[in-house]
A = this chain, B = another copy of it.
Amino acid sequence: MSEKGEIVAAWSERTLIERIRLASQKKSDGLLKSIGDDCCEVALSGSFLISTDTLVDSVHFDNSFHPPHLLGRKSIAVNLSDIAAMGGRPRFVLLSLCLPENIEWDWISTWLDGALEILQEHDCVLIGGDTVKGRSLVLTVTVLGEPVAPGSVYRDGAKEGDSIWVSGPLGSAGGGLELLKYNKNHPDSLDLSSWEALLGAHLNPVPCIGIGMELARSGLISAMQDISDGLATDLAHLCLASEVSAVIHASHLPFLPELSSAAAALNLNIEDLILRSGEDYQLIFTVKSGKEEEFTRLMSEKGKDVYQIGEIRSGRGVILQNDKGSDDISFQGYEH
């Protein structure tokens, strides 16, 4: 880089760090010490949840069609989803940004706008962060949350006879990604405005925090996780952890009407998108045997749409039943 370029970079990096520092000054219950010391110090009553996730340029996102503001939102959303998947409330976030020398400072600054925006929407506070120089863009987000009573919901609690549910339509993010990739390779050949919900599901996913907490509070849920790698893989993780198998019914799987037209336009198998595409960030969970009626009533009272898709059985595997028969689809989902 030229000397002038170096000066601009040094100035821009300090501006970015200063923005992170200022954002981290926000007060919050239980936050004893935020950015500006060797550690942050936090007091949460009882236990706390923690998850960390790394996003790499060109591996986890495509800069060419992912606007930085929405990517900032998504970088945080996927971490908030991990807290939602335990039924917890997200509280605090730390950022570690590895920035290459040729970074576009407007890009990363707009990314930070998006990240801070979604944090504010969820009353979640950035408490620390650092930036380091590197050869490629690597964004690591660490999120801290607190369980809501009566406690966190793990993956390993599903029992034979429990019913299997999801919190919303499947395959939307996968459909959106396929549309964006097709559009990148064949510009102007599709009218993307017909599929805004699918594009939004990929570009700007909404973490299921409210419903996650409702499910945990209900005490009726035996196991839960989020769907990041596709239903086939994530339900297989839940079954493996719980030492059970699952039967799901193809006709019960919820999806948006838009997905049918997108699959047709792209000549893709819709079942593949629903079962095997990643990043929907819906929750998959099991309702304790005998509690389905109480659960359905509760969800109806709370105005929450949830979808029963199958049942937990003994044994191993994730079996898909459709009108042609049944297949084991365990771990057929998306691999990062």
Contact = CB atoms under 8 A, between A and B. Distances in A.
Contacts of A54: 96, 98, 130, 132, 138, 140
A5 B231 CA distance: 30
A33 B83 CA distance: 13
A49 interface: yes
Nearest to A79: B39
Given A37-B225, A47-B32, A134 B56 contact: yes
A39 B32 contact: no
A136 interface: yes
B147 A41 contact: yes
Given A33-B154, A51-B128, A52-B128, A38 B94 contact: no
Contact of A51 (B36, B40, B138, B154): B40
A155 B47 contact: no
A88 to B, nearest CB: 7
Interface in A25-67: 32-33, 36-44, 46-60
A163 interface: no
Interface of A: 32-33, 36-44, 46-60, 81-83, 85-86, 88, 94, 96, 98, 128, 130, 132-136, 138, 140, 142, 144-145, 147, 152, 154-156, 225-226, 241, 336
10 contacts: A37-B86, A38-B86, A40-B51, A50-B144, A51-B128, A52-B94, A54-B96, A98-B98, A134-B136, A140-B140
What are the 5 closest A-B residue pairs judged by CB atoms, nearest first? Answer: A38-B85, A43-B47, A39-B49, A56-B134, A135-B136
